[in-house]
Amino acid sequence: LYCLRFLLMILLLVEMMNQSLGTCPNFGVHFRVPQVRKAAREKLPEIAGSTDPDYVVEALSIALSNWNSWGRIEEGDKEVLLQIICEEKIAKSLRSKLISSASGPMPSLFSQLGRTPILDEKMEEIASFAIQPSVRAKAYRSLFEGRIVWMEGRKWEWTDICYCEGRLKPVVAERKLNVKAPMLELLKKSSEDRSSIVRRVSAEILIRELDSLGSVARTFTERFISDKSRPVSERGEFALKKLDEAERATTS
């Protein structure tokens, strides 16, 4: 565990050194950094393979939660981490952590793991049984939309060049899921979830799919209208308004 953490920290340390020494090209350490990174990359899979998967997952969770802060992380570094993530024992432990963790940055971990297909076959299980509501909501949304989305990083965007003003804009990437789930079944389960965070996602999908759901749309709409959560009931009211408008347009 300590060796694995050490090597992961080397990658992060090298990243910080690259950023801080980038303006000092004549500084000797700057030339040695790529060799340190390469050595860490080569050893990491070997050490991960001989380490208890639970320990590897603990270290990976830390690394992945800082993924977007590694401004100059190289493709080779990403490939090594993704290769480790896709190892069956590691993948199984990561899925277990997503479902069973009551605290920690699990929604962020979920998104970053979406770069790989390790969650696809277990997405419905995650949606149903993950302890954290935000994880369940992300899983349901991924199933509804047939894709999983993550933040790739940030890029600078000028808002006013004259005044040298700008902002960092999130760069979003996505991947299609390799599984499909019945829409009505997903709506039923998500609309009955104990968390309003999940039910809100369900209500949003209902609004999007009103035209394709037929008569059952009104049943779900009435359920959401009576929801004790105001954001959910507001979406139910909006759905009812749309249904009534469509009905009037049909009869006129």
Please state the separation of Cα 200 from the chain's center in Å.
Answer: 18
114-134 per-position pLDDT tens digit: 999 999 999 999 999 999 999
Mean pLDDT to the nearest integer, 203-210: 96
Which of the residue ranges 137-151, 165-179, 187-201 would you say has the lowest mean pLDDT? 165-179
Q: Go through the domains of the chain in sequence order and give each one's CATH number.
A: 2-180 (no CATH), 182-252 (1.25.10)
Question: pLDDT band at residue 199, thresholds of 50, 70 and 90?
Answer: very high
151 DSSP assignment: E
Q: Is the pLDDT of residue 35 over 60?
A: yes
Mean pLDDT to the nearest integer, 83-105: 93
Return the percentage of the chain with pLDDT > 90, whole number: 51
**pLDDT for residue 60:** 83
Residues 6 or more apart in contact with residue 130 via CB below 8 angstroms: 98, 99, 106, 136, 139
Considering only residues 213 and 159, tell me which one the structure prediction assigns the higher pLDDT. 213
**pLDDT for residue 25:** 43
Identify residue 174 by its one-letter amino acid code. Answer: E
Residues 79 and 67 sit within 8 Å (Cβ to Cβ): no
- Of 153, 20, 4, 22, the residue nearest 75 (C-alpha): 153
131-145 per-position pLDDT tens digit: 999 999 999 999 999
Q: How many CA atoms lie within 13 A of 191 on its CB side?
A: 25
179-194 per-position pLDDT tens digit: 989 999 999 999 999 9
**What Rg do the C-alpha atoms of the chain give, in angstroms?**
23
Predicted model pTM: 0.82
Question: In whole angstroms, how far apart are CA 200 and each of 31, 71, 106, 196, 218?
Answer: 52, 34, 19, 6, 16
Helix (H) or strand (E) holding 186: helix 183-191
Question: pLDDT band at residue 69, thresholds of 50, 70 and 90?
Answer: low
Return the percentage of the chain with pLDDT > 70, whole number: 82
Question: pLDDT band at residue 249, thresholds of 50, 70 and 90?
Answer: confident
